[in-house]
Amino acid sequence: MNHISFINLAYIVSCALFAFGLKFLASPETARKGNWLSALGMLIAVIATLTSHEIISFQWILIGMIIGSILGALVAFRAAMTQMPEMIALLHGFGALASVFVDWSAYHSHRPDTIVVTTALYLSILIGGVTFTGSGIAWGKLSERLSGKPILFPGQMWINIAALAFVLALAVPFFMHPAYYPVFLAILGISFLLGILTVIPIGGADMPVVISVLNSYSGLVACTTGFVINNVLLIVVGSLVGANGIILSYIMCKAMNRSLGNVLFGAFAASKKKKAVGEKKEAKSASIEDAYLVLEAAHSVVVVPGYGLAVAQAQHAIRELGELLEKNGAEVRYAIHPVAGRMPGHMNVLLAEANVPYDQLVEMENINPIMDTVDVCIVIGANDTVNPAALHDKTSPIYGMPIVETFRARTVFVIKRSMASGFAGIENELFYYDNTRMIFGDAKDVAQKLVAEFKAK
């Protein structure tokens, strides 16, 4: 077997491992195996690439590997679970930037000489620039370094349209004279600007979908870069990631009962908040002792996690509480809304980390039909995903979004630090229902106190 055949075979094996890795990531039970398979595929691809004759010098490669390994290790050990959403956004951005640098290098070494390469190069720097700066804005919003509210200014829509029209118009001189360097730089610069302008009008409630879309963009950039440098592995892997991101975005938009265009063009920003009219109810609170007495008598309990669970790092305490409830004779399930938290699968990751049994995780469409039979719902930090206004209030920004219908349970305990609104910035009607009791405090502290009550009595 000659050297080229060996590299092509290694690429085929890598592609197969990536495909199986994505397949296994579809289930919490096999997700860990999927990660290992994907990592192995990447290792094989890197080794095969480094042994190719196209590598002239290993000096900068070794420097980059050392710096990247150190930064990766620091992030892995120091980043908290609450920081995972913004870290994923950041990694998408840097992945796209890496593709842009590869395109830039290829452009310097030899100007595109075919229509296929020219088209791929144009799309790569356009999508890569948008993904890099868009991911940076998403990171800022998720990490709360930027406001999670839509950032708006007069004439914003027309500026966005003008920027998009200009970068599309630059395709004409670029295709006619690919070697003209200023046009290349202009496309890249406007792409960076367009990424910022595209994401800043989107509110924090839509960030899970935005992350998924940016994931798809990063895959598309890798795919187009593969065409630029004639690398089959990048084309295949980029296509897999791009398709995966698009499918996930569709699933999440369906869960919100909204179109992707509606999300990306800031529907929350355009919505008007409903003004309070008439008599306003007061929320009722419950003590730890009261909650214990109700839970002790419950035969069925459903836990509905939200971002507050991640903030408090309460997943281990909640799992322990669930085990005690099961020993007491109750059936315990965990209802997961597709867009709960700040990234796709956020709640699944947290509960898996705490070793919550996979068969206790129930999807929204499967738990809602039996919610009337549930004795107690424990809502932990969830807000918009359990707000009944989504079902009946046509003036609400979340109207039409399917929710976990916790209000139909016999008793609802909402564990929150305060009465603050969620990402959508609207009040949660659930707090004022007659069967709802608020338990104010840190979710981990409340869960630990409930555990202590069960152990003591």
Would you name the residues annotated as active-site residues? 384
Q: Phi then psi for 142, rounded to 5 degrees? A: -70, -35
Give Cα 144 to chain centroid, integer Å.
15
CB neighbours (10 Å) of residue 96? Answer: 29
Q: In 200-231, which residue ranges form alpha helices assigned H by DSSP? A: 207-229
Q: How many CB atoms lie within 10 A of CB 213?
A: 27
HSE-CB at 154 with a 13 A cutoff on CA atoms is 0
Query: How many Cβ atoms from other residues are within 10 Å of residue 297's Cβ?
Result: 13
Distance of CA 21 to the CA centre of its chain: 19
Burial class of residue 141 (count of CB atoms within 10 Å of its CB; 0-12, 13-18, 19+): buried
Q: Which residue has the tokens 């590299």?
A: 7
Distance in angstroms (rounded) separating the CA atoms of residues 337 and 318: 17
CB 408 within 8 Å of CB 371: yes
Amino acid identity for residue 106 in this structure: A
